[in-house]
Amino acid sequence: MYGNICELLNIQYPIFQGAMAWISNPELVSAVSNGGGLGVLATGHLDGEGCRKAIRELKERTNRPYAVNIMLLSPFAKEIAQVLCEEKVPVITTGAGSTITHLRAFQEMGAKVIPVVPSVAIAKRFAKDGVDAVIAEGTEAGGHVGKTTTMALMPQVVDAVSIPVIAAGGIADGRGMAAATMLGASGFQLGTRFLVAKECTIHENYKQRIIKAKDIDTVTTGNSTGHPVRVIRNKMTRIYEEMEKRNATPEELDTLGRGALRKAVIDGDIDNGSVMSGQIAGLVHKEQTAKEILEELYQEYVAIMKDAANLIR
């Protein structure tokens, strides 16, 4: 059950930084990998050549293990898969899809393949295909999410597969990591906490909005299109909600959503942009370096785990 993910991936801490399109760039990813975690490069906003350039920059910045994520809904997924093989990426995570193009090619090239799954059925399918581990992501997470909470999803996925399961969604401190361990997690993936890393180059407005966020500040848009996306509630989500209520077509909704993440991340327009965030943003209070975040998370985690037996008698 608790496979050793640090040994499998040759990392110091069992902590992944979630791939966030436009956000998880070589600067952030290298800071996490150099700090002892697993930095995960996002490619959801890139084409094949953009992806190659980002991987090469990342290789310049770190000699430690890193991962690259393929967003399987991306129109460029196929050419990105090809680039990952050519660039001999050591760890590949996937999101937003249940079929991986080039799975065999990835494994023959020597990569470990770790898909994100929102349900037991999809976890089982990938396990049967021979992936190395899965990331079970609860609906608390930011961005494109499934419907089940981390609390309910984790133990069910752990029981359904015999490969390591990484927990994602709703984790931002050592307590969350300890709780996930009790549910059977072999590692943890955090996105929201790394939004406020010093090396995270998102617009300052985005960072401050995360730091200010409260527990009830996120909503999911896109419930009617079958692709719910968790974001901070703002003017854009209110317009989106209105449009969904009057049964706007998926095309109309897409038009509103298109470019919205870039608007928030790059332009700092947190009113009209898509400020993707997990529900745990209310727990994220301060900017720190990626290394400080990793060290603090792990120290909190170890202290809680060591003390856990004292809670019973």
Q: For residue 50, which phi and psi values (nearest 5 degrees)?
A: -60, -40
Does 26 sit near ligand TUI (CB under 6 A)? no
Pairing of strands 187-190, 15-17: parallel
The per-residue DSSP string of 180-244 comes to HHHTT-SEEEESHHHHTBTT--S-HHHHHHHHH--TT-EEEE-TTTT--EEEE-SHHHHHHHHHH
CB 160 within 8 A of CB 120: yes
Minimum distance, C-beta of residue 42 to ligand TUI, in the bound complex (Å) = 8
The single residue among 172, 195, 229, 231 that binds ligand TUI, judged by CB under 6 A, is 229
Minimum distance, C-beta of residue 37 to ligand TUI, in the bound complex (Å) = 18
Does 138 sit near ligand TUI (CB under 6 A)? no
Site string for ligand TUI, 245-284 (x = CB under 6 A): ----------------------------------------
Minimum distance, C-beta of residue 64 to ligand TUI, in the bound complex (Å) = 23
**Is 9 or 260 the residue whose CB approaches ligand TUI more closely?**
260
Residues numbered 45-84 forming contacts with ligand TUI, rule: CB under 6 A: 71, 73
Residue nearest to ligand TUI (CB): 143
The per-residue DSSP string of 39-59 comes to EEE--TT--HHHHHHHHHHHH
**Is 143 or 273 the residue whose CB approaches ligand TUI more closely?**
143
CB 36 within 8 A of CB 291: yes
Minimum distance, C-beta of residue 144 to ligand TUI, in the bound complex (Å) = 3
Q: Considering only 27-35, 77-85, 139-147, 244-252, which stretch makes contact with ligand TUI by CB under 6 A?
A: 139-147
243: which strand partners?
none
Residues numbered 145-184 forming contacts with ligand TUI, rule: CB under 6 A: 145-146
In three-state secondary structure terms, 160 is: helix
Minimum distance, C-beta of residue 308 to ligand TUI, in the bound complex (Å) = 30
**267-301 as b/e, with b when 16 or more CB fall inside 10 Å?**
ebbbeebbbbbbbbbbbbeebbebbebbeebbebb
**Is 73 or 182 the residue whose CB approaches ligand TUI more closely?**
73
Total site size for ligand TUI, rule CB under 6 A: 19
116 vs 46: CA distance, rounded Å:
19
Torsion angle of C-alpha atoms 279, 285, 290, 291, degrees rounded to 10: -120
**Is 1 or 73 the residue whose CB approaches ligand TUI more closely?**
73
**Site residues for ligand TUI per CB under 6 A:** 21, 44, 71, 73, 95-98, 116-118, 122, 137, 143-146, 227, 229
